[in-house]
């Protein structure tokens, strides 16, 4: 569960960047990004525990370890109280620990490197220039004059300065 928590947290940073529009978006605070990523990780962990509960209920499994295990593989006595919750709580705590490890590492990276939260994304966004080029090519194929020409001219000017 710790590793899964780490992976989900890392992917959550990509989700943050996909939701934040790069062209009209704003610079995200690393604290907000970590809080969001941590929350997503815990929510996915809770969803998984619900799946375990349903699997135990519908298919008579013991995924949540609510029964003692026996050597013969048969179901033992039902656990009660705190013992019945140990597996679920341990799993959620491990998800949280994985999320905290990744959030801490990502925070240190952003603070020390001076880079933005966008650099934490596993899924890279297309650069605006490439996006404009694709639209330009599509419009030229259709025989239309590009409405992006002024923007492209401005970008070329900025590069030459």
Between 61 and 33, the higher pLDDT residue: 33
* pLDDT of amino acid 144: 52
**What stretch of H or E contains 96?**
helix 82-113
For 148, residues 6+ apart whose C-beta sits below 8 A from its C-beta are 132, 135, 136, 139
Confidence tier at 159 by pLDDT (50, 70, 90): low
Instruction: Tell me the whole-structure pTM to 2 decimals.
Output: 0.68
Give 76-134 pLDDT, tens digit per residue: 777 777 777 888 899 999 999 999 999 999 999 989 998 888 778 776 655 544 555 55
Residue 148 has pLDDT above 90, yes or no: no
Residue 146 has pLDDT above 60, yes or no: no
Percent of the chain at pLDDT exceeding 70: 68
């Amino acid at each position: 569960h710790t590793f899964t928590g780490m992976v989900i947290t890392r992917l959550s940073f990509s989700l943050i960047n996909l939701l934040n529009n790069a062209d009209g978006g704003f610079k995200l605070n690393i604290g907000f990004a970590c809080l969001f990523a941590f929350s997503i990780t815990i929510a996915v962990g809770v969803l998984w525990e619900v799946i375990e509960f349903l699997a135990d209920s519908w298919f008579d499994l013991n995924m949540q370890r609510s029964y003692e295990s026996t050597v013969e593989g048969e179901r033992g006595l039902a656990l009660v109280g705190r013992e019945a919750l140990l597996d679920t709580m341990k799993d959620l705590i491990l998800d949280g620990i994985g999320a905290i490890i990744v959030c801490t590492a990502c925070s240190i990276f952003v603070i020390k490197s001076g880079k933005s939260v966008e650099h934490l994304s596993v899924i890279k966004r297309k650069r605006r220039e490439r996006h404009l080029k694709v639209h330009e090519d599509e419009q030229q194929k259709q025989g239309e004059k590009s409405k992006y020409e002024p923007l492209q001219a401005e970008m070329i000017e900025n590069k030459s300065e």
